[in-house]
Amino acid sequence: MTIIERILAGHSGEKFVKPGDIVDVEIDARVARDFGGANVVKNIRDNNLGIENVKKTFFTFDCNPTGSDQKYATNQHICRVFARDYGIKVYDINSGIGTHLLIEEGLVYPGCTAISTDSHANVLGAIGAFGQGMGDKDIAAAWSKGKIWFKVPKSVKINFLGKFPEDIFAKDIVLNLLSVFGANKLLGYSVEIYGDEVNRLSLDDRITISSMATEMGAIIIFFTPGEDIIQYCEERTGKKIKPVLADENAKYEQEFSLDVSRFISRVSKPGKPHDTADISDVLKTRIDSAFIGSCTNGRIEDMRVAANILKGKKVAPGVVLKIVPSTDKVWDQCLAEGLIDIFKSAGALVSNAGCAGCAAGQVGQNGPGEVTVSTGNRNFPGKQGKGDVYLASPAVAAASSLAGCITTPDKIPEKPAVFEPKVIQGEKARVAEVHKTVKEKPTVIKGRTWLIRKDNIDTDMIFHNRYLAITDIKEMGKYTFDNLAGYEDFAKKAKPGDIIITEKNFGSGSSRQQAVDCFKSLGIQAILAESFGAIYERNAINAAFPILIYKNLDNLELSDGDNIRIIIKTGEILNLKNNKRANVDPFSEVQIEIYQNGCLF
């Protein structure tokens, strides 16, 4: 049997398994992340399931280790509460990437099985263990049963021949593999890599290569652990470890031999990890940012390589360098070795341990038009942001951050590339005279009322900060009041022309313009309140959105949904249902001028 066949047989009580067999596999480590974890909890609760063995069950919060996203924070708390109830170990936001923690904490060792909601759980092939990413239903079933069904895959053997060139890093090795096999030639296969040069690969190197099995479509990439890796795992587990090896007569679907002496420094071009190119083809491509980290290149050796290049130098003007160690222990090691000081002195941003650029909850994302060199494993459109992402080694990422363009460590220029200003320095700002015909806006408005009898409705209740990245006013309306208790469905029920009447201090809190524009997006005509937050009042006036202040509206005898008419120049209000009248403060001179102009500009 091959390595995967031996591991699956040993964990399913079978003497022999072959490709195509479906077996129930005992899982040694069953993991849910903050990504998917809340759904695992929901599946457990909805189906009245229990936990088969809490000592083998874990949460790892690595997608959003800053807790900066409201939805992730909610999901993390759901998982924490569940973990408290059941006594499940949580590797919280201060810990790092879950798949790395499984190795680092001795939870998984050669010959073990593990599953996670992380699609890169197959990184465990680096130590000769079986790891798989699975969906929340699979994880919930494994938590409850201790086992999960799995179809034994076919195996492929790759032999490394020759010696690696001196300037080749582990990331270059895996990008060269991608250039050979693409995204689907190894699809569904378990891969084993052999050769004399494999013995030169450190644990960190193997992790880099195994972590990108997913990008090649492979089930997993296995390395047979040497004495150093076995010793590493024994120190962390306190156990004597005997690795699982393939039989000499193991059957492989295919066998490949690659001359690694011909491997070159490569990058993946934006959009597809398998679309690799000789780095010489993209040299001097201008960049805006660089990222060093992820489960592929966030290890201590990666940090040392970057620090060696950055030491005593400065990141190019206009370039942002973001560095994120994979685990907190790696972070502490960087601190102890003085690497953090080197990074900071060079001008890099160093974040706490986690997935970072590959997940939206930490540093490493980029914006539209931004060009990034990243050590991550994926550069699919939108994966690491909305810009262009080149995948490369930590050496290339660090060198490029100093050069301001894609380069190698031996080709860093004396002077970095800089962004030239497009506006001539010293040129005086000019205000163009704009002559346009503006249709006069109505000074009498009519509409259906919403009576929201609450004081101190703040901007987070109006338009929550989790939506602040939205800049298109057309998208804003649907989030209006979704954080105001009792009015979460306001956006669905409101109609163009409606008028809101509320009480004291409406719009207190943040200076966010979206808290005004969301009402314009819905077509709300006006808001009446006893008072407004000072910044909110300015924002509304400058946006030509009618807000009016009243002292007392009791005379109107208003009911929710009544239609009213307001004369904004005089402040007269009429309840069209009963002809009762009241007054509000009329528009000021500046308010009417901006209102008729369409906005401040």
Domain spans in the chain, listed from the N-terminal domain onward:
3-262, 266-411, 444-597
Angstrom distance (rounded) from CA 530 to CA 250 = 81
pLDDT at 70: 79
Average confidence score pLDDT of the chain: 94
Provide CB contacts within 8 A for 113, sequence distance 6+: 7, 8, 11, 25, 26, 27, 28, 29, 129, 130, 131
Helices marked H in 372-452: 394-403
pLDDT at 358: 81
pLDDT at 434: 54
Please report which confidence band the pLDDT of residue 438 belongs to, taking 50, 70 and 90 as the band edges: low
pLDDT at 439: 76
Q: Do the two domains 266-411 and 444-597 of this chain adopt the same fold? A: no
Mean pLDDT in residue range 277-292: 97
Q: Is the pLDDT of residue 428 over 60?
A: no
Q: Is the pLDDT of residue 416 over 60?
A: yes
pLDDT at 440: 85
Q: Could you report the per-residue pLDDT of 127-167, keeping only the tens digit for each?
A: 999 999 999 999 999 999 999 999 999 999 999 999 999 99
Tally DSSP H helices, then E strands, for the chain: 19, 25
pLDDT at 425: 58
Spatial CA neighbour of 293 closest among 97, 64, 31, 32: 97
Domain 444-597 has CATH 2.40.160.20: no
Q: Is the pLDDT of residue 9 over 90?
A: yes
Partners of 59 in beta bridges: 32, 90
Angle, alpha carbons 456-458-459 (nearest 5°) = 160
Give 531: exposed, middle or buried? Use CB within 10 Å, 0-12, 13-18, 19+.
middle
Mean pLDDT in residue range 551-566: 96
Q: Is the pLDDT of residue 187 over 60?
A: yes
Single-letter residue type at 436? K
Which segments within 356-498 are labelled E, that is strand? 371-374, 388-391, 444-451
**CB distance 541 to 547 below 8 Å:** yes
**3-state secondary structure at position 288:** coil
Name the one residue in this structure whose structure tokens are 């403060």.
585
pLDDT at 429: 56
Angle, alpha carbons 92-35-94 (nearest 5°) = 20
What is the share, in percent, of the chain residues with pLDDT greater than 90?
89
Question: What is the fold of 3-262?
Answer: Aconitase; domain 3 (3.30.499)
Mean pLDDT in residue range 372-389: 91
Provide CB contacts within 8 A for 423, sequence distance 6+: none
Mean pLDDT in residue range 276-280: 97
**CB distance 260 to 163 below 8 Å:** yes
What is the share, in percent, of the chain residues with pLDDT greater than 70?
97
Spatial CA neighbour of 484 closest among 523, 456, 521: 456
Q: Could you report the per-residue pLDDT of 313-338, keeping only the tens digit for each?
A: 999 999 999 999 999 999 999 999 99
Single-letter residue type at 260? V
Q: Is the pLDDT of residue 45 over 70?
A: yes
pLDDT at 35: 86
Single-letter residue type at 134? M
Q: Could you report the per-residue pLDDT of 54-101, keeping only the tens digit for each?
A: 999 999 999 888 767 778 889 999 999 999 999 999 999 999 999 999
Mean pLDDT in residue range 9-27: 98
Please report which confidence band the pLDDT of residue 435 belongs to, taking 50, 70 and 90 as the band edges: low
Please report which confidence band the pLDDT of residue 437 belongs to, taking 50, 70 and 90 as the band edges: low
Spatial CA neighbour of 331 closest among 101, 125, 123, 168: 101
Mean pLDDT in residue range 472-497: 96
Dihedral of CA atoms 355, 361, 366, 368 in degrees, nearest 10, equals 140
Helices marked H in 485-586: 490-493, 514-522, 534-542
Mean pLDDT in residue range 26-53: 96
Spatial CA neighbour of 396 closest among 378, 380, 414, 376: 376
Angstrom distance (rounded) from CA 547 to CA 538 = 10
Angstrom distance (rounded) from CA 91 to CA 354 = 11
Tokens of 266: 């490569």
Mean pLDDT in residue range 552-567: 96
Domain 266-411 has CATH 3.30.930.10: no
Mean pLDDT in residue range 286-315: 97
pLDDT at 342: 98
Single-letter residue type at 114? A
Please report which confidence band the pLDDT of residue 420 belongs to, taking 50, 70 and 90 as the band edges: confident
pLDDT at 418: 85
